[in-house]
Structure formats: C-alpha cells, structure tokens
C-alpha cells in the first residue's frame, strides 16, 4: 500500500496539468464513501455518502482549488481572487498560502458561517465583506480579474470543474461502477456539472456500464434553476447555497437532461431535518447546505422520482464544524455539576 497523493497526482493523466508541472496540493481527495444505514432504511435505497467535509479545508472545493492554483502558479500568477459563500474562500486562501500567492476574497456581508470566515482570516486572506449577496460578489470578482493582475479561481475558471470531477472517479474506483443515482446540493451549480463530466469521461473510456441520473437540490428560497429565473434576493439558512444566479446554470441543466435526472427544491425545514438526522443517526456532521442532497433524496423517494432499491450516492459537501451555530441551536445546554461522581451519576440518570 502507498499513501494518497492528492487528486492531481492520483489522476494527472485525466487533468489539464502537464506531466512536469508541480502540484500545489494539501493531499485533498480520497474521501470516504460511507454506507448510510439509517438513510438506506428510511428510503429503501442503498445509500452511500461521499463525505467531502473530510478534505483538508473541510469541503469539496479543495479538489478544484488544487488544479486551479497549480495552473495559476504555472502561469506565474502572484495573486488570486474569488467570491464566496465561505468554502471557496477557505480553500482558495489555504492553497494560495501553499503557492506563495496572495488571495483576495469577496464575501456577502454577514452571510457566511463563522468557521469559514476564521479559515480565510487565519490563512491571511485580503478579505472584503461586500454589502450585497454572492451574485454581486462574483460579478465584482470577475470585473477585478479582467482589469487587474489577479487570477479568478471561482468555478467559472474551468480548471476548478476539472479538479472537482475527480470525486466521480473516486466513486467509480470504489464501487467498481457508477451508482444509478447521484444526489448533490446545488448553489453556483459547478459541482453537479463537474461530477457529470467525470462520470461521462469514465463511461466513455469503458470504466462503467452506466452513467448515473444526476439529481440536484436547491433550497426553495434560492431555487433559480427550479423556478427557471434568477432570484434577486435569495434566502435560505443554508448560506453556502444562497445563490440566485448560478454561474454554471446551463451546464447543470445539461447534466440533468442528458442523465435523465432532476433539479428540485427542498425547504429549509427539510434541510435542517436531514442535517440533524445525519448527525444523530449516521454519526456524520455536515454543514446545512450539504444536507440538501439527503433531504432531496428523501423527498424524491416520497414523490416517486427515485425508486426503492436504487443505489444512490449523496455527496455531503462540507464539514459541520464550519457552522456550529446550527448544531447548538435547539440543543439543550450542558448541565454543570461539582467535581463529584455521585452528582455526575445522578445528572446522567445512572444513579
Ligand atoms: N455545498 C457547500 C458546502 C458549498 O460550499 C457549496 C458552494 C455547494 C454545496 C454548492 O456547490 O456551487 O458547485 O453548486 N459553495 C460556493 C462557495 C458557492 O463560495 O463556497 P456548487
């Protein structure tokens, strides 16, 4: 056995990175594909979780960032810029540090989780909170990358999706074939497009007997693709996917249509229920947005869009530690006791 080398060196022949170019890596990828026993029981499907919160900065963004930053380094960039609902900025700043670059970050004021803000700051981001939403931030970042010498590392940078497609390779490498259905949360719509690219590529090369039906889920208050129109004031507690005008809209629709899948909306209430279920019954602590894939699967089984008995992979995109506020909300507070075994036993209901 050998240790995992990060997505570029594991899949270099399938990535647009020259053989001789060094990889800027934190050894991302190689994440678990975890059987979800309780969700399987509840849905009658065979459900596996691709646990992307176990990447180095705690989200799937690292897969794309290693490729985007390695390319930027190769091209001599000294500075990168991104707009973000939090995870992209956490990842971009960490990889920029590895590459010796500066990283400018534009985030929507007051709408990103505390842990993500902490990550960007501790890695030394030049951080601006914008009095606007993610869509405004992305527009600004695009403009700045055109007018100034900073490379844009949002998923409109094609190297990002190239890196993110490796998650589909890993699923197939583990299962020996593609699953029948793949469920994801959808925000800026890059990740669903990247997985679809990965699955198609493996299928074309004969590594799989099928491609999965791609199911994407937006929050009902931020569901432009489902509504068929941009949402000017997107709303959801799942701040990571609070996006009203996704950059990869057309690619995501193509993934949906070519795969025979579906993009649907789930309520914040259902997202919160799935978030709690994953933590309480699967032992997997994800962030709210990530739970949209599982909430969506459960809804799609109820409505008959996914049949019982189907083998389903749900990507859970980010680590719950990034946004502990939602775990603490509604939880009973801890009981304080003196240093005394009897008091502890009583409080625990053991005595
Ligand atoms: N889940 C999490 C935890 C995310 O951070 C994101 C996107 C998504 C799902 C949606 O993925 O955009 O490819 O459809 N976060 C971006 C960011 C927008 O700035 O971190 P997508």
231-252 pLDDT, tens digit each: 999 999 999 999 999 999 999 9
Stretch among 40-54, 92-106, 120-134, 320-334 having the lowest mean pLDDT: 320-334
Kindly indicate the confidence band of residue 330, based on its pLDDT and cuts at 50, 70 and 90. Answer: confident
The CB of 113 under 6 Å from ligand 1? The reply is no
The CB of 319 under 6 Å from ligand 1? The reply is no
- Evaluate if residue 182 carries a pLDDT over 70: yes
Q: Residue 253: which residues within 8 A CB-CB, separation 6 or more?
A: 225, 263
Going from the Cα of 239 to the center of ligand 1, the distance in angstroms, rounded, reads 9
> Is this complex's ipTM strictly greater than 0.90?
yes
Helices (H) and strands (E) in the chain, counts: 15, 10
Full-model pTM: 0.97
Alpha helices in 148-182 (DSSP H): 158-164, 166-175
Q: How many Å apart are CA 143 and CA 224, to the nearest integer?
A: 23
Q: Express each pLDDT in 90-118 by its tens digit.
A: 999 999 999 999 999 999 999 999 999 99
Q: Residue 298: which residues within 8 A CB-CB, separation 6 or more?
A: 39, 42, 43, 270, 274
Q: How many Å apart are CA 85 and CA 106, to the nearest integer?
A: 9
Helix or strand (DSSP H, E) at 198: helix 190-204
Give me the domains of the chain, ranges plus CATH numbers: 7-58+160-328 (3.40.50.1100), 61-157 (3.40.50.1100)
The CB of 289 under 6 Å from ligand 1? The reply is yes
The CB of 141 under 6 Å from ligand 1? The reply is no
Q: List b or e across 276-285, with b for residues whose CB sees 16 or more CB atoms inside 10 angstroms.
A: ebbeeebebb
The predicted structure's pLDDT at residue 1: 67
Q: How many Å apart are CA 320 and CA 234, to the nearest integer?
A: 22
Going from the Cα of 345 to the center of ligand 1, the distance in angstroms, rounded, reads 44
Kindly indicate the confidence band of residue 281, based on its pLDDT and cuts at 50, 70 and 90. Answer: very high
Instruction: Report the candidate in 283, 202, 262 with the shortest Cα–Cα distance to residue 32.
Output: 283
Instruction: Report the candidate in 257, 108, 243, 230 with the shortest Cα–Cα distance to residue 189.
Output: 243
The CB of 190 under 6 Å from ligand 1? The reply is yes
- From first CA to last CA, the distance across the chain in angstroms is 49
Going from the Cα of 183 to the center of ligand 1, the distance in angstroms, rounded, reads 14
Average pLDDT on 1-18 reads 95
3-state SS class at 151: strand
The predicted structure's pLDDT at residue 76: 96
The CB of 318 under 6 Å from ligand 1? The reply is yes
Going from the Cα of 188 to the center of ligand 1, the distance in angstroms, rounded, reads 6
In this structure, the residue with its CA closest to atom 12 of ligand 1 is: 188
In this structure, the residue with its CA closest to atom 15 of ligand 1 is: 240
The CB of 133 under 6 Å from ligand 1? The reply is no
Query: Which atom of ligand 1 is nearest to 193's Cα?
Result: 13
Query: Which atom of ligand 1 is nearest to 86's Cα?
Result: 20
The CB of 290 under 6 Å from ligand 1? The reply is yes
Average pLDDT on 35-50 reads 98
The CB of 226 under 6 Å from ligand 1? The reply is no
Q: Express each pLDDT in 146-177 by its tens digit.
A: 999 999 999 999 999 999 999 999 999 999 99
Q: Express each pLDDT in 194-233 by its tens digit.
A: 999 999 999 999 999 999 999 999 999 999 999 999 999 9
How high is the mean pLDDT of the chain?
A: 97
Average pLDDT on 23-52 reads 98
3-state helix, strand, coil split of the chain in percent (to 5) is: 45, 15, 35
The CB of 185 under 6 Å from ligand 1? The reply is yes
- Evaluate if residue 329 carries a pLDDT over 90: no
């Amino acid at each position: 056995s050998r240790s995992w080398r990060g997505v570029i060196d594991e899949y270099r022949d399938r990535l647009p990175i020259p053989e001789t170019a060094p990889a800027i890596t934190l050894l991302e990828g190689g994440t678990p594909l975890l059987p979800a026993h309780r969700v399987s029981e509840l849905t009658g499907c065979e459900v596996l979780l691709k646990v992307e919160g176990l990447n180095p900065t705690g989200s799937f963004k690292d897969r794309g960032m290693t490729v985007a930053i390695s390319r930027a380094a190769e091209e001599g960039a000294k500075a990168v810029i991104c707009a973000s609902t939090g995870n992209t900025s956490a990842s971009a700043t960490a990889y920029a540090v590895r590459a010796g670059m500066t990283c400018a970050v534009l985030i929507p004021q007051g709408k990103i989780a505390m842990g993500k803000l902490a990550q960007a700051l501790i890695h030394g981001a030049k951080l601006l909170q914008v009095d606007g939403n993610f869509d405004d931030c992305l527009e600004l970042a695009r403009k700045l990358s055109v007018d100034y010498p900073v490379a844009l590392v949002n998923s409109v940078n094609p190297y990002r999706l190239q890196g993110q497609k490796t998650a589909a390779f890993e699923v197939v490498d583990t299962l020996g074939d593609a699953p029948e259905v793949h469920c994801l949360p959808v925000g800026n719509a890059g990740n669903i497009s990247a997985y679809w690219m990965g699955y198609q590529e493996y299928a074309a090369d004969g590594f799989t007997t099928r491609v999965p039906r791609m199911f994407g889920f937006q929050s009902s208050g931020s569901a432009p693709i489902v509504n068929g129109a941009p949402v000017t004031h997107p709303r959801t507690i799942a701040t990571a996917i609070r996006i009203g005008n996704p950059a990869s809209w057309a690619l995501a629709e193509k993934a949906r249509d070519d795969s025979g899948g579906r993009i649907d909306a789930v309520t914040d209430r259902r997202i919160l229920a799935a978030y709690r279920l994953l933590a309480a019954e699967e032992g997997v602590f994800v962030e709210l947005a990530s739970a949209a894939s599982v909430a969506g699967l459960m809804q799609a089984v109820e409505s008959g869009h996914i049949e019982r008995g189907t083998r389903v992979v749900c990507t859970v995109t980010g680590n719950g530690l990034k946004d502990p506020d939602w775990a603490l909300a509604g939880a009973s507070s801890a009981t304080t006791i003196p240093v005394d075994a009897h008091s502890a036993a009583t409080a625990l209901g053991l005595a």
